[in-house]
């Protein structure tokens, strides 16, 4: 690839004691920075490519300010803090921090055990301090990376984060920039990496002042959220610089170990160099300068291998992607109704295909899309695919936000988790699933715009218009909806939840310690599915060692012949009494093994 893009220092930044102010407003005739306490009006000078610039040694950290564009004042869209919310003045932040993580190195993608969490509902305190307090627990669980849902400033204090409008300002109610830096530093002290969910495919509607500054959006394309972000139309340099500076800030100023890029399939960019390729280049520059690993993980539903191929092949260079098709196949195998986007998935058959080749639709006809869809991923490394049985989308986009233990019961949840953990892919958990939390994860907002509030309510009702028998759609704006979604940490001390927590700890430990489960090569997996029996048998062979993993999603017990006179040892049983199950089979077996309904077994050949 050609030369790496220059990183613009946007907004108010510090160089020693002097503040630098950079604003992109290509159509403005006059730009002024209006500061408070003391009150000053600092005119900016026009620069090339729509930028305006000034320096001052009178600006201090914590000072409030607004930017005047042709005498009309707005918050700074690249401010590092919005202490009074999305409509209030911006605040100056000095991002210099006393880091103590100089010797920390994040794990490789192939070794990650990811735990997705939402800062506001992870603990009752709803902030970064609450997450810090639970880091020893996560370490004991076996987690070595947390993935945090977006923290860019959003309206109010209740939001999933995908309505963020200030991408550089860390949500004030969570603890702001300093709180996030402290969390990352604390994670690194515990040996835990931090992956941050970022949103570059759209920006939220309330508090979105970007159009007042310049053409950050274009009518050239439409997205589910309206106008597309302007990555390839006239004056696209502003939006591109905005995103690249944001990526650089998270990786450099906050020591973030990886970014999860939301819905990259909704990024519209036909430039000779795609914005994702520039993100890859900026990330590589940070890696080279810091000597530390950084990961780029994409959410993408296109089954297009180009997103994962390296820049040298004109790929987009993402390190990994969420593999939703693994999840969808797993859910249908577990008993999910085949409606909506689940309608085209065939349970065990498609789950087996995902184990073998990652993508389920890899060029064949997709009935849901009504077209031939996807490309083959068979030669792409296993670690490039992140798999899960639950995540914020698949729980929270249900009308009642039910988790797997509520939908299917603990036996199926244990089986689904085993399916994730024995895969050669990178596993991810969703907060609270490890103790089978009964708290839902609902969709919630705290907008101030009454018309927008009503539009969100109406949209949710339309989405679930066919589910009236399940009750009323929870009001996204209501504080109660948010409160119901906050994890109850006392639950995990109750007997049934203790069983599940012990199960997850042991299963994560098995994945991390067993030599054959560390192979991470699906080409060493022999995968057989029995569609009529709802069963998958995976044999993993390495040198003289062999594992047989049996997943029985059916309602019937099956006797599985081992086709070998050797003695086998059962090293895992999802239905064992120590997890709250009722299995009574022997740990040593020959010739055949009995696998109970809705359960899974792992056998190791005795050599």
Assign residue 551 the CATH number of its domain. Answer: 2.60.40.1180
Distances (CA, A) of 330 to 15, 382, 390, 418, 551: 52, 18, 10, 11, 11
Angle between helices 324-334 and 348-357 (to 10 degrees): 150
Same domain, 295 and 427: yes
**What per-residue confidence (pLDDT) applies to 592?**
87
Q: Give domain status of residue 569, yes or no.
A: yes
Same domain, 151 and 181: yes
Determine the Cα–Cα distance for residues 518 and 200; give it in Å rounded to an integer: 34
562 contacts 589 by C-beta, under 8 angstroms: yes
Same domain, 537 and 565: yes
Same domain, 119 and 204: yes
Q: Where are the beta strands (DSSP E) in 16-144?
A: 18-24, 31-35, 40-43, 45-46, 51-56, 64-69, 72-74, 90-91, 114-117
Determine the Cα–Cα distance for residues 194 and 112; give it in Å rounded to an integer: 11
Q: Which residue shows structure tokens 């059916």?
A: 554
Reply yes or no on whether 262 is catalytic: yes
What total of structural domains would you count in the chain? Answer: 2
Q: Which of 257, 299, 319, 325 is catalytic?
A: 299
Parts of the chain with a pLDDT under 70: 1-3, 466-470, 585-586, 606-607
Reply yes or no on whether 472 is catalytic: no
Q: Give domain status of residue 233, yes or no.
A: yes
DSSP state of 185: H
Whole-structure pTM value: 0.97
Q: Which residue(s) pair with 558 in the sheet?
A: 595
CA atoms within 13 A on the CB side of 379: 2
Determine the Cα–Cα distance for residues 287 and 106; give it in Å rounded to an integer: 12
Same domain, 445 and 547: no
107 contacts 193 by C-beta, under 8 angstroms: yes
Same domain, 303 and 435: yes
Q: Give domain status of residue 26, yes or no.
A: no
Q: Give domain status of residue 369, yes or no.
A: yes
**What per-residue confidence (pLDDT) applies to 591?**
82
Q: Give domain status of residue 266, yes or no.
A: yes
Q: Which of 163, 262, 324, 393 is catalytic?
A: 262
Same domain, 414 and 555: no
Same domain, 412 and 531: no
Determine the Cα–Cα distance for residues 317 and 308; give it in Å rounded to an integer: 5
379 contacts 362 by C-beta, under 8 angstroms: no
Assign residue 193 the CATH number of its domain. Answer: 3.20.20.80
Same domain, 422 and 550: no
Q: In a 10 Å sphere around its CB, with 0-12 CB exposed, 13-18 middle and 19+ buried, how is residue 28 labelled?
A: buried
Q: Which residue shows structure tokens 């389920």?
A: 360
- Using alpha carbons only, give the angle 437, 143, 445 rounded to the nearest 5 degrees: 50
60 contacts 93 by C-beta, under 8 angstroms: no
Same domain, 211 and 303: yes
Residue 471: other Cβ atoms inside 10 A: 10
**What per-residue confidence (pLDDT) applies to 427?**
98
Same domain, 223 and 286: yes
Cα dihedral angle (255, 257, 258, 259), rounded to 10 degrees? Answer: -20
Q: Give domain status of residue 87, yes or no.
A: no
Q: How far is CA 246 from the centre of its chain?
A: 17
Q: Give domain status of residue 317, yes or no.
A: yes
Q: Give domain status of residue 359, yes or no.
A: yes
**What per-residue confidence (pLDDT) applies to 425?**
98
**What per-residue confidence (pLDDT) applies to 520?**
85
Residue 557: other Cβ atoms inside 10 A: 12
Domain end position, chosen among 483, 509, 535:
509
Q: Which range of residues forms the domain containing residue 553?
A: 526-605
Residue 248: other Cβ atoms inside 10 A: 18
Determine the Cα–Cα distance for residues 228 and 356; give it in Å rounded to an integer: 36
Same domain, 160 and 264: yes
- Measured in residues, the chain has a length of 607
Pinpoint the alpha helices (H) of 324-470: 324-334, 348-357, 392-396, 404-407, 410-421, 450-463
The contacts of residue 578 (CB under 8 Å, 6+ apart) are 499, 502
């Amino acid at each position: 690839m050609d030369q790496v893009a220059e990183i613009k220092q946007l907004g108010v930044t510090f160089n020693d004691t002097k503040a630098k102010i950079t604003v992109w407003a290509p159509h403005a005739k006059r730009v002024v920075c209006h500061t408070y306490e003391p009150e000053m009006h600092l005119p900016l000078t026009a620069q090339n490519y729509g930028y305006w610039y000034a320096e001052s040694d009178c600006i201090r950290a914590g000072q409030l300010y607004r930017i005047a564009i042709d005498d009309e004042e707005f918050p700074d869209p690249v401010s590092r803090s919005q202490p009074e919310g999305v409509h209030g003045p911006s605040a100056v932040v000095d991002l210099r921090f006393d880091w103590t993580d100089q010797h920390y190195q994040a794990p490789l993608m192939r070794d990650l055990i990811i735990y997705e969490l939402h800062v506001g509902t992870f603990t009752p305190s709803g902030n970064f301090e609450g997450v810090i307090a639970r880091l020893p627990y996560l370490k004991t669980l076996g987690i070595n990376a947390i993935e945090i849902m977006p923290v860019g400033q959003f309206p109010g204090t209740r939001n999933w984060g995908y309505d963020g409008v200030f991408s550089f300002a860390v949500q004030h109610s969570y603890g702001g920039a300093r709180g996030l830096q402290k969390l990352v530093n604390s994670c690194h002290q515990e040996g835990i990496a931090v992956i941050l969910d970022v949103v570059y495919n759209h920006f939220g509607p309330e508090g979105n002042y970007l159009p007042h500054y310049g053409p950050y959006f274009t009518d050239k394309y439409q997205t589910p959220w309206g106008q597309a972000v302007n990555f390839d139309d006239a004056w696209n340099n502003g939006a591109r610089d905005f995103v690249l500076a944001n990526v650089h800030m998270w990786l450099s100023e906050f020591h973030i170990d990886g970014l999860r890029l939301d819905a990259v399939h909704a990024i519209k960019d036909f430039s000779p160099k795609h914005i994702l390729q520039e993100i890859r280049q900026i990330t590589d520059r940070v890696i080279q300068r810091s000597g530390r690993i950084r990961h780029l993980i994409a959410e993408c539903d296109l089954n297009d291998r180009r997103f994962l191929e390296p820049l040298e092949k004109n790929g987009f260079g993402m390190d990994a992607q969420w593999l939703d098709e693994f999840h969808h196949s797993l859910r249908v195998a577990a008993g999910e109704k085949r409606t909506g986007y689940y309608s085209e998935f065939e349970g065990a058959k498609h789950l087996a295909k995902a184990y073998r080749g990652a993508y389920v639709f890899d060029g064949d006809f997709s009935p849901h899309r009504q077209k031939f869809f996807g490309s083959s991923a068979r030669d792409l490394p296993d670690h490039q695919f992140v798999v899960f049985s639950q995540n914020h989308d698949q729980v929270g986009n249900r009308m009642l936000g039910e988790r797997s233990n509520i939908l299917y019961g603990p036996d199926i949840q244990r089986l689904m988790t085993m399916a994730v953990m024995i895969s050669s892919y990178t596993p991810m958990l969703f907060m609270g699933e490890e103790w089978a939390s009964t708290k839902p994860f609902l969709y919630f907002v705290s907008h101030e715009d009454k018309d927008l509030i009503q539009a969100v309510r109406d949209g949710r009702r339309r989405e679930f218009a066919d589910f009236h028998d399940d009750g009323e759609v929870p009001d996204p704006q209501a504080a109660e909806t948010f409160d119901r979604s906050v994890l109850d940490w006392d639950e995990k001390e109750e007997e049934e939840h203790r069983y599940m927590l012990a199960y997850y700890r042991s299963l994560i430990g098995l994945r991390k310690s067993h030599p054959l489960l560390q192979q991470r090569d699906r080409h060493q997996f022999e995968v057989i599915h029995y569609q009529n029996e709802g069963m998958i048998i995976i044999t993993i062979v390495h040198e003289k060692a062999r594992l047989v993993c049996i997943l029985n999603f059916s309602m019937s017990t099956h006797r599985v012949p081992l086709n070998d006179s050797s003695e086998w040892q059962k090293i895992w049983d999802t239905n064992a009494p120590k997890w709250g199950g009722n299995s009574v089979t022997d740990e040593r077996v020959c010739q055949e093994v009995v696998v109970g309904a809705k359960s899974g077994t792992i056998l190791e050949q005795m050599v």
